[in-house]
Chains A and B, each alone.
Chain A
Amino acid sequence: MKKFLGIVSVLLMITACTSGDDSNDTTEENQNPDSTSFDRSAMLANWADGIIIPGYVDFNQKVEVLELATANFVSSPDDLSEVRKAWTEAYTVWQRVSMFEIGPAEVVDLRLNVNIYPTNIDLLESNVTNGDYNLALASNRAAKGFPAIDYLLYGLGEDDAEILAVYTGSNAALYRQYLSDIVVDIKNLSSEVLSQWQGDYRDTFVNNDGASATASVDRFVNDYIFYFEKFLRAGKMGIPGGVFSGNVEPNNLETLYEGTLSKSLFLEGLDASQDFFNGVSYNGTSQGESLNTYLVTLNSVKNGVALHSIINESFDTTRASVNSLESFKTELENTPPINFLEAYDDVQRIVPLLKVDMVSAMSIRIDFADADGD
C-alpha cells in the first residue's frame, strides 16, 4: 500500500513539474463547452476573421487609393482635394486597426511607423532638402506616416495656393518625391502586415487559445488596454489637454495642420474600441464571441455585477460627451479647457473598468513572476 502511494506521489510530482506555468501551450479546442465555461478559441477566431483581417483589408484598400491619389497629385500638382480626401479616409480607417499591435504589426512596429505625432518639422524639411533619408530608421519615424502627410498637405503654407506653390516651386521635385516615398512606406508596411494575417499568423493567433502570459487572449487584452490608455485616451486627448504636463498643448493634437479632424478620429477610435469589446464584425452586420460575452459567461457563475453593461454604458456616456464638444482645437483655446477636460474624465473612467475589473474577472496576468495572489 505504501509503495503504491509512493509511486502515485512521484507520478503526480512529475505531472506538476511538466505543466504549471509553461508558456506557449497550444491546446485542443474544448469539444464539449459547458454552459459555464467559455471558448476562447471561438473569440479569437471572431477577432481574427470578423474584425482584424477585414479591418486590415479595408485599410490596405484605402492606402492603395491614397497611393494612387498621391501619384496623380505629384504628376500634376494643381488640386489638393483628391489626395486630401484619400488621406482622410485612410487615416480614419487607420483608427480602426491601430489597436491590433500584435504579431505582424508588432514585428514591423506598424503604429510607431505610421502615426507618430507631432511631426518633427525640422527633421522632415532636412530630409526633403538632403534627399538621402532612410525611412526604415527609427529616427525618422517622426518625419513620416500620416502626421507627416498632414503637414505636407496642409501645413506647407497659409492657404492652398501657398501649399501648391511648394510643389511647383524651386524644390518641387524633392517635396513630391518625399510625399510619394512616405505614402509608399505606409503601403509597404500595411500590405506586409495583411499578408501575414492572411497567411500563417491567423492560425498561430487563433490556436494559441490557452490561458498564460503568452496566450493570445492574455497578450491581446493587454495590448487593447495599452492602446486605449496610451494612444486613444492620452495621445488624442490627455496630452494635448495638458493632463500630464500641466500645460495645454494643442500642438500635440492629431491632424494638427488639417485642424478639424481630431475629434472625429478620436470618435472613430472610440467606436472601434467599443465594437471590439462587443465583438461586432468589421462590416457591422454581426456580433460574435467577444470580451462582452466572456464577461457574461464569467458573471453567470459569480452572480456578480453586470460588468459588461457598465462598460458599455461608460463607452456610450463618453461618446455623448465628446460628441458635444466643438473641434478639439477650438476647445483647447479656452483657458482652462473645462469642457474638454470633463469629456477627458469620462474617457478616463473607462480605463479602470477595463484594466482592473475586466482583467481581474478574466484572471489575465500582466507579468510572469511568483505570486501569492495578494
Chain B
Amino acid sequence: MNKRIETYFKSYTEAAPLAVFRIFFGFMMCVSIIRFWSYGWIDKFYIQPDFHFKFYGFEWVQPFGVYTYLIFALCLLSAFCVMIGFKYRVAMALFFLSFTYIELLDKTMYLNHYYFVSVCSFILIFLPAHVYFSVDAKRSENAYSLVPRWTIDVLKLFIAIVYFYAGLTKLNSDWLLDATPLNIWLPSKFDIPFIGDFMGQEWVHYAFSWIGAGYDLCIPFLLLYKRTRPYAFVVVVIFHVMTRVLFPIGMFPYIMIVSALIFFDARFHKKLIYAFAKACKFPLNTLNKSRKYAPAHAAFMQLSKVILICVMTVQLVLPWRYALYPGELFWTEEGYRFSWRVMLMEKAGYAQFKIVDQVSGKRFYVDNSDFLTPIQEKQMSFQPDFILEYAHYLRDHFEAQGHQNVAVFADVQVTLNGRLSSQFIDPTINLAVEKESFKHKNWITPFTDEIKGL
C-alpha cells in the first residue's frame, strides 16, 4: 500500500491542464474584480458603511477608507500576473492574501464562491502552474512540460469535494420532500424567456430540486470517468448557465464551468495552449520539453504536499462541525458557513433592538438604518453571530453617548423556507453581556419544526 502511495506521488503527467487552469483562473479573477469595481461595490460595501461585521478572531481586519481601492488594485494586478504566469508564486500568494483580506473586511459579504476562490488560490500557491506556457517559463531552462500527477489531482479532488458536499447538503426533507426553497424562488422567475411559463409549476420545483441534488452528487464521478466526461461537461455548462439565468449569483457559474476543465485529458489542454501560444507568439519550443518539474529546493515539494493534505483534510471535515451543536442547523446557523451549503434555504428576518439604560431606566428602540446598510441589516436579521456583534456595537455606541450600564434586547422574527415567521432570539436575554465564542448560543429560541436529513 505504502509502495503504491509512494509510486503515485512520484508519478508525472503533462503540465498543460495546470497551465490552462492557471490562465483561466487568473482571467476569471481579473474579470471578477473589474466587475465588482465597475458596479461601485467597493465604495458601497467597504467604504461607505460606518460599521462592518467581522469574522471571529479577525476583528483587526479594517478597510482603509479610500485606500481600500489599493487592496483591490493589488488583487487585480496579482491576478493578472497569475494569468500570464509572471513571478507566479509571489503573485499567487499576494492574490490569496489580498483577496482573503477583502473577504475578511465584512462578514456580510460572505459568499460560498468567494470562499472557493480563497481556498483554490491558496492551493494554487503550492502547485507548479507556472512551469508551462507562462512568462516565467518563457526561457527553455525554466520550462517543464511534466509535473507531478498529484498537483493536478489535488485540484480535481477539491472540486469534487465542493460538488459532492453541495449535493450532500441538499439531502434534507425541506429540499427533497417540499421542493423548498426552489418552490419559493422559481415562481418569481416567470418573466424569463422560454422557461418562464414553467416556473410556477409544482412538478418543475420538484424536478429542479432532485436533479440539482443528483447533479451535485454525481458530476464529480461523471467528470472523472473518461467515457462520460464530454457529456458531463455539457451538463456542467447547462446546469451553471441555468443557475446564472435564474439566480443573481455573479461570477460563480463561470468559475465552476471553467474549473471543470481540469478533468480533461492533457491532449485537449495542449491544443488550447498551442492555440494561445500561436496567438501571442510564444516560443513553441518551450512547450514540448519533456522535462520533469523539480523545484529548486526539494523540501518545498515535501512541504507543499503536507500543507495540501492538511487543506484537503480540513475541507473534508469542516462541513461536519454543525453536528457538534444542538438545534436545527438551518435555524441556528452554527456551522453553516464554509461547508458548501450553496443556495440552500430561503431565510429572512426582522430585528428590533431595545436599548435600556439600566441606571436611569430609559428605554427605546433603535432604527437599524441609522447604523447598518440595507444589506447588512438583512444579513444580520437571521444570523445569531451578527445579532450579537451588532448588539455589542449598539451597547458601545450608546454608552459612549452617555447612557449607563446599557442593556440590549433583541426582538427578532425569522421565516425559514416558507414557514410563518417566529421568534428567533430570546427577547429577555441581555445581549450586551453575552460573549461571542465557539460555544452554542443558548439564547437562540429553539426551532419549532423539524427538518430531517443532513
- Write the residues of chain A forming the contact surface with B, with a CB cutoff of 8 angstroms: 2, 5, 8-9, 12-13, 15-16, 19-21, 25, 27, 30, 32, 34, 36-38, 40, 209-211, 234, 238, 242-247, 298, 301-302, 304-305, 307, 310, 348, 351-353, 355-357, 359-374
Contact = CB atoms under 8 A, between A and B. Distances in A.
Interface string B187-201: 111111100110111
B344 A367 contact: no
Nearest to B346: A360
Given A9-B234, A19-B193, A373 B375 contact: no
B364 A373 contact: no
Nearest to B348: A360
Given A19-B192, A30-B190, A352 B248 contact: no
Contacts of A36: 187, 200-202
B187 A298 contact: yes
A353 B109 CA distance: 26
Contact of A360 (B192, B362, B418): B418
Given A8-B234, A211-B188, A362-B188, 4 more contacts: A12-B238, A234-B367, A360-B415, A361-B184
B230 interface: yes
B202 A301 contact: yes
Contact of B367 (A12, A244, A372): A244
Contacts of B292: none
A361 B111 contact: no
A363 B241 CA distance: 20
Q: Which 5 A-B pairs give the minimum distances between C-beta atoms?
A: A37-B200, A370-B250, A363-B188, A246-B362, A246-B364
Contacts, number: 169
Contacts of A243: 364-365
B421 interface: yes
Contacts of B365: 238, 243-244
A370 B421 CA distance: 24
A302 B41 CA distance: 35
Given A30-B190, A372-B342, A16 B245 contact: yes
Contacts of A21: 248
A304 B418 contact: yes
Contacts of B189: 211
B245 A34 contact: no
Contacts of A37: 187, 190, 197, 199-201
A255 B312 CA distance: 67
A34 B197 contact: yes
Nearest to B248: A21
Main secondary structure of the interface of B (DSSP, over half): mixed
A374 B344 contact: yes
A9 B190 contact: no
Q: Which of B41, B111, B418 has the most CB of A within 10 A?
A: B418
Contacts of B364: 242-246
Interface in B231-288: 231, 233-234, 237-238, 241, 244-245, 247-253, 257
Nearest to B240: A16
A34 B367 CA distance: 42
B89 interface: no
Contacts of A246: 357, 362-364
Contacts of B230: 2, 5
A74 to B, nearest CB: 40
A352 B415 CA distance: 9
B192 A372 contact: no
B40 to A, nearest CB: 10
Contacts of B257: 13
A13 B241 CA distance: 6
28 contacts: A2-B230, A9-B237, A19-B192, A20-B244, A21-B248, A30-B196, A36-B200, A37-B187, A209-B191, A243-B364, A246-B362, A298-B187, A301-B205, A302-B183, A302-B418, A352-B350, A352-B413, A355-B350, A356-B348, A359-B348, A362-B188, A369-B41, A370-B111, A371-B248, A372-B112, A372-B249, A372-B342, A374-B344
A205 B322 CA distance: 47
Interface in B129-179: 178
Contacts of B241: 12-13, 15-16
B343 to A, nearest CB: 4
A207 to B, nearest CB: 12
Contacts of A34: 197, 200-201
A216 to B, nearest CB: 12
Nearest to A303: B178
B349 interface: yes
Nearest to B230: A2
B181 interface: yes
Interface string B8-19: 000000000000
Contact of A20 (B113, B245, B348): B245
Interface string B60-97: 00000000000000000000000000000000000000
Interface in B302-344: 336, 341-344
Q: Which of A20, A244, A310, A362 has the most CB of B within 10 A?
A: A20
A15 B253 CA distance: 13
A27 B194 CA distance: 12
Contact of B420 (A310, A363, A364, A366): A310
B421 A356 contact: yes
